[in-house]
């Protein structure tokens, strides 16, 4: 029982450190996700425009065939935000082995809910755009 308690405390400590770390990077994760979604939407609109233009040219009887190779942009290092979720898997595995899976799940959901509720509090002191931009980045993260 003493060893089990020690293991549980250590795992919870590592997991709590991860929760703090992920909360501090949630804004960056959200901003990156929003930026990537916006870029993807813009690429899709450009592709639809090119397809529409090609269809119009084919209808108008232009005999010149135009081929294009569409290559996906490879993501550069700036568009990838790396964060480690190993502590979550480790904590889940150890808690499951200790027979505390339900307790861990409740603990995880409670803590994430508290973080979310904290992030949902929008300051009325800041201008609308600034406060909501941060808000959406936090939620997406």
Q: Which residues of 27-63 are buried (b: 16+ CB within 10 A; e: fewer)?
A: bebbbbebeeeeeeeeeeeeeeeeeeeeeeeeeeeee
- The chain-wide mean pLDDT, for the chain, equals 78
pTM, two decimals, is 0.56
Least confident of 15-24, 47-56, 89-98, 112-121: 112-121
Segments making up each domain of the chain, as ranges: 2-74+83-140
Tens digits of per-residue pLDDT, 60-98?
765 555 555 555 555 555 566 677 888 889 999 999 998
Render 46-59 in DSSP notation, one character per residue: HHHHHHHHHHHHHH
Structure token pair of residue 44: 């899709």
């Amino acid at each position: 029982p003493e060893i089990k308690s020690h293991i549980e405390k250590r795992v919870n400590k590592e997991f709590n450190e991860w929760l703090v770390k992920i909360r501090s990077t949630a804004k960056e994760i959200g901003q990156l996700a929003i930026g990537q979604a916006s870029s993807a939407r813009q690429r899709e609109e450009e592709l639809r425009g090119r397809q529409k233009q090609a269809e119009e040219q084919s209808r108008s009887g232009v005999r010149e065939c135009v081929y294009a190779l569409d290559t996906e942009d490879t993501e550069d290092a700036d568009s990838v935000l790396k964060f480690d979720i190993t502590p979550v898997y480790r904590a889940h595995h150890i808690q499951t082995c200790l027979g505390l899976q339900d307790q861990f799940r409740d603990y995880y959901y409670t803590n994430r809910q508290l973080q979310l509720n904290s992030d949902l509090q929008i300051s009325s002191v800041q201008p609308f755009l600034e406060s909501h931009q941060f808000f959406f980045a936090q939620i997406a993260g």
